[in-house]
Structure 1
Amino acid sequence: MIITKKYFSVLLCLTFFSSFLSAQQKAKRGDGFYKKEMQSLQAAINKNFYNQASGYYKIVIDSTQWEVKNGFLRKYTYFWAHCALYQAANEIEKLEPKDELMASIEKQLTYYYDTAAPAPGYSDYIMKLKPGERYYDDNQWIGITALNAYARTNQKKDLELGKAMYNFMMTGHDQVLGGGLYWKEGSTSSKNTCSNGPGVLVALQLYRATKNKAYLDTALKIFDWTNEKLQAPNKLYYDNIKTADGKVDGPILSYNTGTMLESNVYLYEITKDKKYLTEANAIADSSLTFFYGRDKFRDGYWFNAVLLRAYQHLLKYNKDTKYVMGFKKCLDNALQNEKNNQGVFTGKDGVQNLVEQGGMLEILARFAWLEKNNNLASTKR
């Protein structure tokens, strides 16, 4: 092929222009990029999901997708979304302590509070609008966030909320299959990683806060049971085990891996036993390929937010940023391809529901923190 002088000049100009655009994009995604995205999503959530007249958040934006359950129309959000927003608010307050966002979410939590025996806890739907069911994991996510906040602010109310969530979750523990927690109250068909992994975290955080050894004993008991019954050969975690026949069932999801990975990090912090850090690194290595090897999230934003918590915690002891950077490729893909003209995210199923917006908000808040404190802005995007 003969390259003429004119062709070479055009090629040089195109190369320069391409480099210029790349430099512009890097500048655009410099310090503060994820914080701006976080703030944009905050505004979009408030605009599109909050219903001023009722004081409640909508379950989804599109009214044609509201749900009918047990004969009742449910247009306001399930409690799970508030679990997501509550943790996101905690992460935003780390960046902007004066925002005091958690208080407004705590007000929303009261609408779901159910004092029924055997222990008070949160229902999955607004009590005055026909209450639903009580899930152990819903209550555990709230306990985890409250105890995160307690470690940050030392406010007694947060510790008390963490203890209350522990008390509720333990009503779902028995010796069927040798231990473990059920998924939801009144249903004994399965014991799930999504109720046992966060249960370990609640107990470990309470131990860290109080030094009461009973919490550590509980944490280790549930931790060992979950590893025995639900850990897959690739170090990740199955969804559940059936109580009728002990059959392991369900997909491998990022949030289940996240809670157990972070449990190992907490146990390393508490015990100084290196076996937990070794296991945390092994789980992180396997999860990086499995969940982020395609540069696109394979399950929901909120599920991934829980695994990001573990990656961020692990950074304290393993300074290799490969886990966070692998996650970041998927995040950047979502920012480029999954954000619509309303400023919210569609996710893999195309539905703009509140729990996924809360999950993405937490992710962006965490990356805003990492961008500020771990110099992610200077790395190649």
Structure 2
Amino acid sequence: MKNNRYILLSLAFIALAVNYVKAQLPSYNTRIKLLYQQINNKLRDSTEGLYYETSDKAKNENKHSYLWPLCAYIQAANEMEVIDPSKDYMQPVEKAIDQYYTDKLPFAGYQASVTKEKPDSRFYDDNQWVAIAYLDAYNRNHKKRYLEKSEMICRYMLGGLDTVAGGGFYWNEGDKSSKNTCSNGPGILVLLQLYNITHNKAYLNTALDVYKWVNKTLQAPDSIYYDNIRLRDLKIGKAKITYNLGTMLQSNVLLYHITKDHKYLGVAEGIAKAGRKYFFKKGRLPGGYWFNAVMLRGYQELYKVDGNKDWVNFYQEDADAIWNTERDANNMLGTKPERSLIDQAAMIEIYARLQELK
């Protein structure tokens, strides 16, 4: 009897302690404001209208950030505007991204580094992430430039689509050694969003072709997605990363909305269950905040359809753990001494999406 009473008291104490810790956590809105402030304080070059890769300039490869962290930050800026439409968070990031533009033939697009600083490679996925953020913005505010830039990016990315290995987009314009889920999942999303806006059937048909190719070529038996196919020998790179699952999860939900075919919703739910089981271990998601932010996009879309809180609760648990255990004295997040732009942007996106879901 005493042992049972002790166990019950212990469980009650633990529950009280957990609730106390949760009560002490700042709101998602507060966390977003703190992170946004530190990006402007420590990671923005206001003179050039550009951003730094990390807070330690001595460790940065370039004077200013690669485009990839700005892919995260432009989406984060969009999500901040979702929860606070009175502000214009996107414009300064958009102006920075404009400095990566190149009209190099055969199609204009954005390169990996600031154009005036050095010539660099162009990656199809970098361009696609920007287009996804711009299309999300266009669906909110109908600013024409966001649609026009997204259509420009789509023309660029379609230049990276062919029938080698059966189909799919390349990853790097200048290196045709692989086709990756990270350039095909977001490519599908760009095409589906453009179809929703323009009703041009060619966008939908191409999206379906790429969707079928990814599922045939790069989906594992457990419904998680592999990373890439190497083209010289068709060997599959079997790394499993959260963002690859996220884009394909979101693609299925969008296809459900477009076609009204419940098979896509069933596939989405299967992918979501597999992803949560595979990636969420001991109360945490794997490292890589931005990869996880992209995966949240898919879970958020599914949650809006079926209202299943399982798709949200584990993200809340991980996001709170990050704030509690991976935050420095300046309220910047990360696991390295130097704090990176992509990490701060990713967590802004995650907290903003969780705020919206509340």
**Same fold, judged at TM 0.5 (above):** yes
C-alpha separation between the residues in 2 aligned to 1:305 and 1:218? 26
User: In the alignment, is residue 213 of structure 1 matched against residue 201 of structure 2?
Assistant: yes
The aligned runs of 1:1-381 (5 Å cut-off) are 24-29=20-25, 33-67=27-61, 74-347=62-335, 351-371=338-358
Task: Report the CA distance shift for 1:19/1:98 in structure 2 as closer, same or farther (over 3 A).
Answer: same
Task: Say if 1:60 and 1:75, in contact at 8 Å, map to a contact too.
Answer: no
Residue identity in the other structure for 2:354: F
**Counterpart contact for 1:254–1:299, Cα < 8 Å:** no
One-letter identity of the residue aligned with 2:79? E
- Distance (whole Å) between structure 2 residues aligned to residue 101 and residue 237 of structure 1: 33
Q: CA, structure 1 residues 350+189, in 2 after alignment: closer, same or farther (shift >3 Å)?
A: farther
Q: Specify whether residues 98 and 241 from structure 1 end up closer, same or farther in structure 2 by C-alpha distance, changes over 3 A only.
A: same
The CA distance in 1 between the partners of 2:168 and 2:11, in whole Å, is 60
Distance in 1 of aligned mates of 2:292 and 2:17? 31
Change (3 A) 1:128 1:286: same
| Distance of 2:14 and 2:249 partners within structure 1 | 41
Using the TM superposition, give the Cα deviation of residue 2 of structure 1 relative to its aligned residue in structure 2, in angstroms. 9.1
Q: Deviation per CA, 1:232-253, whole angstroms, max 9, x where unpaired? A: 1110111100111111014100
SS at match of 2:86: helix
Stretch moving more, 55-64 or 158-167? 55-64
Measured in 1, the distance between the counterparts of 2:12 and 2:276 equals: 35
Paired amino acid for 2:134? A
What TM-score does the superposition give when structure 2 sets the normalisation length? 0.94
Aligned equivalents of 2:337, 2:127: Cα separation in 1: 27
Distance 1:271 1:65, change over 3 A: same
TM-score (norm 1): 0.88
SS at match of 1:172: coil
Task: Return the offset for 1:142.
Answer: 0.8
Asked if structure 1 preserves the Cα contact closer than 8 Å seen for 2:246 and 2:298, the reply is yes
Structure 1: gaps of 5 or more residues:
68-73, 372-381
Query: In 2, Cα distance between the equivalents of 1:285 and 1:276?
Result: 14
User: For the residues of structure 2 that align with 1:63 and 1:157, how far apart are their CA atoms?
Assistant: 33
Distance of aligned partners of 1:211 and 1:296 in 2 relative to their CA distance in 1, 3 Å threshold: same
Unmatched 5+ stretches in structure 2: none
CA radius of gyration, larger in: 1
Q: Give the distance between the partners of 1:235 and 1:266, measured in 2 at CA.
A: 18
Q: Write the letter of the residue equivalent to 2:177.
A: S
Label 1:2 to 1:364 Cα distance change in 2 as closer, same or farther (>3 A): closer
SS at match of 1:340: coil
The letter of the residue matching 1:289 is: K
Q: For 1:248-300, what per-residue CA distance to the aligned partner results, in whole angstroms no more than 9, with x for missing partners?
A: 01410000000000000000000011110000000000000111132122131
- What amino acid maps onto 1:49 in structure 2? L
Q: 1:279 to 1:17 in 2, by over 3 A?
A: closer
SS in 2 for 1:239: strand
Q: Are the equivalent residues in 1 in contact too, given 2:128–2:190 (CA < 8 A)?
A: yes
Q: Secondary structure at the match of 1:98?
A: coil
Could you say what secondary structure the match of 2:159 adopts? Answer: helix
Distance 1:116 1:305 in 2: 31
Structure 1 residues 98, 177: closer, same or farther in 2, change over 3 A?
same
| Contact in 1 for aligned 2:49/2:95 (Cα 8 Å) | no
Q: CA deviation at 1:53?
A: 3.7
- Report the CA distance between 1:206 and its aligned residue: 0.4
Judge conservation of contact 1:293–1:326 (CA < 8 Å) in 2: no
Judging changes above 3 Å, is the alpha-carbon distance between structure 1 residues 113 and 21 closer, same or farther for their aligned structure 2 residues? Answer: same
Which whole-Å CA distance do the structure 1 matches of 2:163 and 2:355 have between them? 43
Residue-pair matches, total: 355
Q: Structure 2: which amino acid aligns with 1:368? A: Q
Change (3 A) 1:136 1:267: same
